[in-house]
Structure 1
Amino acid sequence: MACNANMMHMLGVCRTARLTSSIALPLGADKIGRGFYTSLSSRVKFTRKICASLAQAKPSASGMASTQKKVLVPIGFGTEEMEAVILIDVLRRAGSDVTVASVETDLQIEASRRVKLVADRPISACTEEMFDLIVLPGGMPGSSRLRDSEILENITKRQAADGRLYGAICAAPAVALETWGLLKGLRVMCTRDGSEVVKHEYNPVEWSFAKTPVVLVPIANGSEEMEAVIIIDVLRRANIHVVVASVEETLEIVASRKVKIVADKLIEEAATSAYDLIVLPGGMPGAERLSNTQSLTKLLREQAESKKAYGAICASPAVVLEAHGLLKEKKATAHPAFSQKLADQSAADTRVVIDGNLITSRGPGTAMEFALAIVEKIFGQEKAISIAEAMVFPYP
């Protein structure tokens, strides 16, 4: 199968081998039996398709005693962190036993936008295991690092030869699977989700900064990893200086679906600096841990009093901002499970809400729109669209 340069960053693939009779492609494509493909803009949809295929697959030999499906997600230096974390998070939500394996010499890797992720084990420790699914995140040079791992190549080739599920997204199908000869006879499809971003702005004010904006993203044990990583990734794509601060006693935190993330510094050190924007990921009990961190809530109060920008997503608008009086006379939204805690619920059904210097959003499924809306407020719509197009995400 020939892959041109555009396909390198657009296509994704999951081969279903003989384990399912058919899978429906996006855009009403015909049944194809042996595989489906998706684009970078459909990460969560891609993972949902994988979950559906995985549900129909027979358990691996090592997992015959349990209905829990075993999944391998390899990562390397330069892996696209959003793709890796979304795959891990959603598959774990679906009940899969997900192993995150590093193809590097260390368990900790630095992803494409400098988010530090910690794998569960080295890829060398996976050679004797049988997996129901192996799925490769993309990103560059991450896809090349996966491709160059002889151990991963052998594991994936054995997976294909045994007729078990394997898949990839973004650059990984072309860079890794094609190089390994695992796309022969499979059709490739690049799709684009046509849904619109839904946001509303009240009391518009200009967010302007004299220099490169500095943004604080605090994280805690139990933070929602998709939200945290998407915010960090997108803002760094916009060349914003993002400081990731742990409110725990260590730099490494374990997020809500057990993804391990390493912060840049502890909150006590971060609290000595000033920020143009402070933005909180959600997740439970992560939001509660942020709310109970005195140094962070002090920073947030000072941010609001100085009329500087701040924001939150998912549970955090209610659990942190509302709880500390930081939504007074403000329109906001939150995750549906927490929106009833908002004093003003008139905008609670909107995906992204901006009110002056405050921005809030609803959850993992709105995190991309949330992050791009921040970029738009800081740099304008043209910059946000440019970043969205590079990710094959429709905006606005």
Structure 2
Amino acid sequence: MAHPRVQKDKRHWRAFNAGEIPPDWPLISWVIAENMLTSDGEQHARLRRLVSKAFTPRRIEHLRSGIVGIVEGLLDGLAAEAERNDGVVDLKPHFAQPLPMTVISDLFGLPTRDRGELHRLVGVFFDQSITPDAAMATFFEMWTLLTTLVAAKRAEPGDDLTSALIAARDDEDRLSEDELIWSLVLIISAGYETTMNLIANAVRALLLHRDQLELLTNGEVAWSTAVEEVLRWDGPGEFVPMRYTTEDIELAGVAIPAGEPLLMGYASAGRDPGRHGDTAHLFDITREDTSHLGFSHGRHYCLGANLARMEVNEALPRLFERFPKLDLAIPVEDLPPLPSIIVSGVESLPVRLT
């Protein structure tokens, strides 16, 4: 991920430049994007510099009290939903999904009427089981929704990140219209989908390891430590397309020619016995080394990492304080996995609040 001869720009992919990758390839929207995730060098530095002006730590910290309020409201909603369903509620749509969706929508000034549609589009965007036609149609729908958002914020700027991105400039340089939309596609979809699944994966992990949950609820281990262990052991970021070799290289004894795509297994790094020893496959919030690649590494490190951590660290302790006997409502093996190679998680997480 830090190799100087491995880059992110599709112009390095021999097959793509030769016209061998069809426009209806299911992952095409991940390749043709023009944003920080798919750029290198000065272009990447320029985009990151402009976007980071709207994504300051001060602005993110300012969100904390609002996030706490959202969490408390969702917990009230969980209790009401469980009362209607004999104590059982699906934590994914009633807690893990609406928290990051509300936060990211408020952050970017997305109208309430569009939030349900954005949730549907982002879900399809990360779904690798759909047809190529459906993938392309979803991409264009998302592009249209965000183009409409930008037009509205350009006409009437507000105290939100979309307006801040529109106004962001570096000397006389600023984001072009396409760069602006592509940045929104990246930040909104990645910031929402991954945090949603991090919350769900964390709850599942702790319910399967109740001895470690007790260490958290009695204060022996910090919640922030547990979140890092979830990111190492079962983080939502599984694979992110693509990186490309700019010259012939050798990785782990394998010769890779120039112009080849690499699909990086971010999640596998957390299970590496060479780094984490013989217990790498075990969930253990007391381990000393919880290092992971959940937010990438190096120059492409996630701008939204602090926001994601804040949301999860505010949500989990409040969830288990409100419902200390929370438990899975069905066997763990019956939880349906997400149809995605990009994010790891489950489609639903039915729990009993007790």
Q: Larger helix proportion, structure 1 or 2?
A: 2
TM-score (norm 2): 0.27
Q: Between the two structures, name the one with larger relative contact order (CA 8 Å, sep ≥ 6).
A: 2
TM-score (norm 1): 0.25
